[in-house]
Structure 1
Amino acid sequence: MSRAIEHHEARQRFECTEEGVSCVLDYQLSGTVMTITHTGVPQAVGGRGIAADLTRHALDTARGRGWKVRPVCSYAAAYIKRHPEYQDLVA
Structure 2
Amino acid sequence: MSFLVEENPAKHRFEILVDDALAGFTAYIPRGEVGEVLVFTHTEVDERFQNMGVGSALIRGTLDQVRERGGRLVPKCPFVAAFIKRHPEYADLVVAEA
Give the shorter-chain TM-score range: 0.7 to 0.9
1:85 pairs with 2:62: no
Question: Residues 45-77 of structure 1, C-alpha deviation per residue, up to 9 Å, x if partnerless?
Answer: 200111111111111111111111100000000
* CA distance in structure 2 between the aligned counterparts of 1:25 and 1:55, rounded to whole angstroms: 8
SS of the residue corresponding to residue 4 of structure 2 reads: coil
* CA distance in structure 2 between the aligned counterparts of 1:26 and 1:53, rounded to whole angstroms: 15
Any gaps of 5 or more consecutive residues in structure 1? Answer: none
2:77 pairs, out of 73, 80, 87, with: 73
Percent of aligned positions that are identical: 40
What is the count of residue pairs matched by the alignment? 91
Note if contact 1:5-1:16 (Cα within 8 Å) is conserved in structure 2.
Answer: yes
* CA distance in structure 1 between the aligned counterparts of 2:4 and 2:47, rounded to whole angstroms: 19
* CA distance in structure 1 between the aligned counterparts of 2:45 and 2:82, rounded to whole angstroms: 16
Query: Normalising to structure 2: TM-score of the pair?
Result: 0.81
2:67 pairs, out of 63, 69, 77, with: 63
Any gaps of 5 or more consecutive residues in structure 2? Answer: none
* CA distance in structure 1 between the aligned counterparts of 2:3 and 2:31, rounded to whole angstroms: 28
Query: What corresponds to 1:40 in structure 2?
Result: 44
